Structure 1
Amino acid sequence: MKDPHDTANDEDSFLQAMQGVSRHHHDRADLSKTSSRQKQLNADYRRQAAMQEEHKVIDGLSDEAVDLVESGEELLFANPGVQLRLLKRMKQGHIPWEQGLDLHGYTVDQARDQLSKFILDARRNDCRCVLVVHGKAHSSGSQQALIKSYVNEWLKRLDGVLAFCSAQARDGGAGALYVLLKRER
């Protein structure tokens, strides 16, 4: 049986095995042996990557194109398991909202970031219902409700969102949403 305190034998074996091996004095790969074909493939890859438009994805929320909704269209969404009675109460404005987010003036990227942070913070604060004001796009000159369309898609993908619907007129009507959140337990 080998003595665990006898390291001299192990050192001798290691030094003997490493004989003839030289040590590099730099930490870079030697690319001088790269073929011209490989160099061209690398250049092509870098060029293609630089030309592709970057699509950011945050919390599973993409900035890629979505189906546009009309500015005055009422939105309604519920995950499976949400009780119809609860959905009706929310739609009628009988579930008070505890925090609100106004997305007027934000770009799509800014709106996505703000919405994601807002929902996460609201869940941490144990909010049951929040208000998200996305606007109707009447003042932008176009009738396309871009932020509204994105918010409609993003809320369906955000973790912890049980349901949402267009708000009552007093809270923004078709330009805002009541969002029902899953409580942290």
Structure 2
Amino acid sequence: MQEQRNGEFQNSPFKVLKDAIGKTSPRSAAAQKASSHDDHEDDEGLFLRSMSGATRIAADGDQEPGPQTPTAAAEKRVDDEAHGRALFLQAVGMIGTPVRRDGIPGPDEEAPARSSSGRMRQLKRGTIRISEELDLHGFLKDDALRRLEYFTASAYARGLQAVLVITGKGHNSPDGPVLPGAVAAWLREQGKDMVAEIHAAPRDKGGSGAIVVFLKKR
């Protein structure tokens, strides 16, 4: 009887259950680890998907711009190129600066000398206005003529009617007044396809130290 009880105890269902759990526990742990890994991947994928349209916040609290659309990127590139060209041309002094647009002398200024040119009369009345000016003071002849060429071509391309080129009178130049003659010669010869007339500027615009350039229509 004692032996039978011992056999029953040894064949106890609790022991069988314990042995079964022990045998299956490694596979269950592996399955649990795989399940945990899958859950981690699902959580990570869900997080990345939820953040795909977000804008990153910089360390200083400013928002960094997200990915640009092709249209926005193209517009930014055009703006950057235009801005870069303007800065370059301004840096080398090739862009004329706006001047007084009425073309009429103020109360303390002398009236310009009379001219037989119809365009000069229109300039005095304000029908034609000087839109931009180029100051060539202090430049050597070759450099000045390069700047003059660009300035004239740019004004002509934009349909301007009249511009002012300031040459100075050349009194302080060691070679005498070389620049005024060189500028006038370039405008009459190389610039003839763009230039309609040139005249010495009125006194209020610089007199003999400046040239009014009337441009042809395109």
Structure number with greater Rg is 2
TM-score, normalization by structure 2: 0.42
Structure ranking higher in strand proportion: 1
Structure ranking higher in helix proportion: 2
Higher RCO (CA 8 Å, separation ≥ 6 residues)? 1
